[in-house]
Amino acid sequence: MNWIMIRAIIKFCLNVFFTIYFRIEKRGEENLPKGAYILAPKHLSNWDPPIIVAKLKRNDVYILAKQELFVNGFVKFLAKKTNVLPVKRDSHDTGVIKQSIKILKNGNVFIIFPEGTRNGIEKNGEIHSGAVIMANMAKVPIVPVGIKATYKPFSKVTINYGKPINFDGKKMQKEEIENATNILKEDIIKLTNETI
């Protein structure tokens, strides 16, 4: 049994579990592009990444996760085989950036939580610009995502996909990056509020 099949089985099992354990509602799926794109969700909980991955209809999904989660060899091995890439928070990891851009240029989906931590917007009012920089370099759109959930057993979880923010690959100046990052932040806030 190869790892593509194992990933499919893991995703199927997660999908079944989440369907039973939560009442999940998805909105705006028509906004998801057919080719490569970055998905930039609101970050509420450690439940967010597996639910987002499980509920996407595509299997070519990669995700960035904080390096602290890779605490032992088995977790590191399993993460690598299930398309999870470790990244150091608050650092400019050029190796991961290059790897992520290559993945996107190969037509895959990449999930990045631009807040960098749970409820980052509420804590410091900002999000990281990495998703914007990567999207521009790879010439792929970013899809902002709002999430509303308490994650209590059998409670409702609403995932709200917004309209893509497109990039043409032209070198962006610092001010342009900041403006695009602010647009992304405002879209995430708006989409999260719309789920109420």
Q: What are phi and psi of 63, to 5 degrees?
A: -145, 145
Please give the Cα distance from 159 to 115 (Å, whole number).
Answer: 17
pTM of the complete model: 0.90
What pLDDT does residue 168 have?
Answer: 82
What pLDDT does residue 69 have?
Answer: 66
Topology of the domain covering 3-194: Glycerol-3-phosphate (1)-acyltransferase (3.40.1130)
- What Cα–Cα distance (Å) separates residue 133 from each residue in 16, 120, 145? 35, 19, 18
b/e 92-125 (16+ beta carbons within 10 angstroms → b): ebeebbeebbebbeeebbbbbbbbbeeebbeeee
Whether 196 and 142 have beta carbons less than 8 Å apart is answered as no
Other CB atoms within 10 A of residue 156 CB: 13
Whether 36 and 108 have beta carbons less than 8 Å apart is answered as yes
> Does residue 196 register a pLDDT over 60?
no
Domain boundaries, the chain: 3-194
142: enclosing H helix or E strand:
strand 142-149
pLDDT band at 125 (very low <50, low <70, confident <90, very high): confident
The residue type of 69 is: L
Which of the 8 DSSP states describes residue 39?
E
Among 12-16, 20-24, 102-106, 138-142, the least confident range: 12-16
Q: pLDDT (tens digit, 9 = 90+) per residue, 48-75? A: 998 999 999 998 999 987 777 667 676 6
Q: Rounded mean pLDDT of 17-37?
A: 96
- What Cα–Cα distance (Å) separates residue 148 from each residue in 63, 82, 168, 180, 187? 20, 26, 31, 23, 14
